[in-house]
Structure 1
Amino acid sequence: MIDELKVVRAGFAPIKGTRHLAHDRVVLDERGVVGDRGFALVSVDPEHPGSGRVLRTVQHPSLVAVRAEPAGRRLEVELPDGATASAEPVATSERITCDYWGRQVDLELLEAPHAALFSRWLGRPVRLARARRGDVVFAGAVSVVTTASLHDLARRVGDDALAAARFRPNLVVETDEPYAEDTWLGREVRVGSARLRIGVPIPRCAVIDIHPETGERDVRLLKTLASHRPLNRAGEPAFGVFAEVVAPGVVG
C-alpha cells in the first residue's frame, strides 16, 4: 500500500551551492528532480588542466547569496550587488575530472558569461561545468525533510522562523511526529504524481549553520542536532532522509 505525503515546499538549485529556491512545480524523473544541481562551479588545476575540484558550499558559503534559475535553455544568475548574467551555456570539447568529497566526477566545461560573474564574486577563477545527471548529486536522488522535525529543531534553537532552505531539501512534507521519517526506510510513498522509495538518513555538515540567503554563519544548528540525533561514523548528525524515484511524476 502506498501512502501519500503532502508536499508543502519543493525546491532545488540548478548550480550546486547557489541559493536553494522554492518552486511551485518540480518534475521528478528516475534520477531525481529535473534541473537540480545540473551545473557546478569548478576550480581548474593550472598545472593539470584536466583535473580540478568542485566548489563546496561549506568552503564557499557566499555562494548561497547568489540566485540562479533556469529559464528554458538559458541560465539566469543574479549576484547580491545586482550584477546579472542570462545566457545559454555552450558546450565545449573540454572535459575535466574533479574530486567531489572523495569521488571522481567527469564534467563538461562550458562557455558562458556566468563564469566571469562567479569569479569576481568569489575572488578566484572558476569555470562553469555541466555534470551528467546524478554525478554531482551526493547519495540519494531526492532529499526529504518533514515539518514536525523542522518545528522540533526550531524549538530547540529558539528560532520560530527556522528556514527549511538551510537544509536544501528537494521536498518538505507535512508530518505530525518529529523524526517519524527515521522509521520510513524502504517504504514507498506518493508525492504528487510520483512515487518514491525512502532510503537512509541524510548526514549533515556545517552548511546548515549558514543563513540560506546571505551565507553568514548565524546559528549553531549542527551542534544542536548532534546533541540529540543519531551520528554516523564521521560524527555527522542525521536530519531528513534520502529517497529514490520509483515512478517519475510531477509535484505541484
Structure 2
Amino acid sequence: MHVARVGFAPVKGTRHPAYDRVTLAEHGPVGDRAFCLVDVAGRRVLKTVQNPSLVAIRSAWDGAVLSMVLPSGEVACSAPEPTGEELVCDYWGRPATLALLAGPHAALASSYLGADVRLAAAPPGQVVYGAPVTLVSLASLRSLADSLGRPELAREPARFRPTIVVDDLEPWAEESWVGRTVRLGDATVRVNALVPRCAVIDLDPVTGVPSAPVLKALADRPAPAADGTPELPFGVDAFVVAPGAVRPGDPVLVD
C-alpha cells in the first residue's frame, strides 16, 4: 500500500487542494484549518454544510502570509494581524476559543458570502469534527463511483476532504483499521473511528455546486457490521501518535 494524495484546507471549508507533503504534528496536520470564518454576533464557525459556496474559495498559507482567492479572481493576500480579541464559539457541542484577526480577508469573504464575517485563528484541532487526520482509500472511492455509474467521481477524492488518500486496498478495507496503528511515511497514527458523512459530499469539490447524489449511494450501501457504526460512514479518522512528514508515494503499513 502507498499514499496516493495528501491535502488540507488552511481556511476551514475552502477548497481542499493536494500538496507534495503534509506534516503530521501532535495535534494533526500542520496548517490544516488553521483559520476559519466566523459569524461574531452568532458566535458561530461557518461550516461547509450551511455555506457550500465556501468550497469555491481557494486559500493558501505559508506560515506567514494567507491568501484567499474568489472564483471571480479577487484576491486578499497578507499576513493576518492579531487584534487581541477572542471569541468562544460552540463547535459540535464543545467550546472553541478563537483569536479574531484583522486584514483584508474578512472584507473579501463578506462581500462574497453576502454576510458579515470575521477571520479567526483556530488552535490545532479546535474546528475539526472528530480526530484530526482522515484517511480514505481509492478503492472505496472507485466502488462508490461505480455504484453511481459515475467513474469520474473516483478522480475527486477532495469531495471527501481527506488528509490522506491510500491506494492498493480492497474496497472498504480501511474500515477494519479502527483501533489499529498505521505507519504513513515518517508518521504513525492510531485509527479512531469511521467518519460519518453529510450532504457536503454531494458538492462539486471545485465549485461547491451539488453535482452527484453521493450521500444517497452511501445510504444504499450495506452498513459495516460493527458496534457504534455512525450513519453513512466513509473513511476513517485518526490521532497522531508519532509525528512526521507524509508524501505521495510513501508506504503505508498497518499493524
Could you say which TM-score interval applies, normalised by the shorter chain? over 0.9
Residue 131 in structure 1 maps to residue 122 in structure 2 = yes
Show the counterpart of 2:152.
Answer: 161
Q: Does the 8 A contact of 2:91 with 2:127 survive in 1?
A: yes
TM-score, normalized by length of structure 2? 0.91
| Residue identity opposite 1:190 in structure 2 | R
Alpha carbon RMSD of aligned pairs, Å?
A: 1.6
- Aligned-pair identity (%): 51
Q: Does 1:244 align with 2:239?
A: yes
Q: Is the 8 A contact 2:194 2:230 kept in 1?
A: no
Distance (Å, rounded) in 2 between the aligned partners of 1:70 and 1:31: 18
1:178-212 Cα shifts (integer Å, max 9, x gaps)? 10111111211111111111121000000000100
The CA distance in 1 between the partners of 2:34 and 2:92, in whole Å, is 17
Q: What residue number does 1:8 align with? A: 4
Conserved? CA contact 2:148–2:217, under 8 Å: yes
Output the CA distance in 1 between the equivalents of 2:37 and 2:63: 20
Report the Cα offset of residue 227 of structure 1. 1.2
SS of equivalent residue, structure 1 residue 161: helix
1:205-225: CA deviation from partner (whole Å, max 9, x where unpaired): 000001000010111111110
Q: 1:205–1:236: 8 Å Cα contact kept in structure 2?
A: no
2:208 is aligned, of 183, 207, 215, to 215
Cα distance in structure 2, aligned partners of 1:245 and 1:80:
34
Task: Write the distance in 2 (CA, Å) between the matches of 1:105 and 1:19.
Answer: 22
Q: Deviations over 1:27-58 (max 9, x none)?
A: 1111111000010100011xxxxx61000101
8 Å CA contact 1:109, 1:128 repeated in 2: yes
Secondary structure, in 3 states, of the residue corresponding to 1:173? strand
Amino acid at match of 1:7: V
Q: Secondary structure at the match of 1:115?
A: helix
Output the CA distance in 2 between the equivalents of 1:133 and 1:74.
18
Matched, 1:18 2:36: no
- Structure 2 residue 29 is matched with structure 1 residue 33: yes
Q: Residue 253 of structure 2 aligns with which residue?
A: none
- The residue matched to 2:90 in structure 1 has which SS? strand
Partner in structure 2 of residue 173 of structure 1: 166
Structure 1 residues 234, 13: closer, same or farther in 2, change over 3 A?
A: same
Cα distance 1:233–1:184, how it changes in 2: closer, same or farther (>3 A)?
closer
CA distance in 2, matches of 1:234, 1:181: 14
Aligned equivalent of 1:110:
101
Say whether 1:97 aligns with 2:93: no
235 and 174 in structure 1: CA distance in 2 versus 1, 3 angstrom threshold: closer
The count of corresponding residues between Structure 1 and Structure 2 is 243
C-alpha separation in 1, matches of 2:229 and 2:97: 26
Moved more, 175-184 or 36-45: 175-184
Q: 1:108 to 1:59 in 2, by over 3 A?
A: same
Of the structure 1 ranges 231-240 and 161-170, higher mean CA displacement relative to structure 2 is found in: 231-240
Contact 1:18/1:65 (8 A) holds in 2? yes
Output the CA distance in 2 between the equivalents of 1:6 and 1:76: 31
SS at match of 2:43: strand
Q: Does 1:225 align with 2:201?
A: no
2:143 is the alignment partner of 1:152: yes
Evaluate the alpha carbon distance shift between residue 73 and residue 16 of structure 1 in structure 2; reply closer, same or farther with a 3 A threshold.
same
Query: Structure 1: which 5+ runs fail to align?
Result: 46-50
Q: Give the AA of the match of 2:165.
A: V
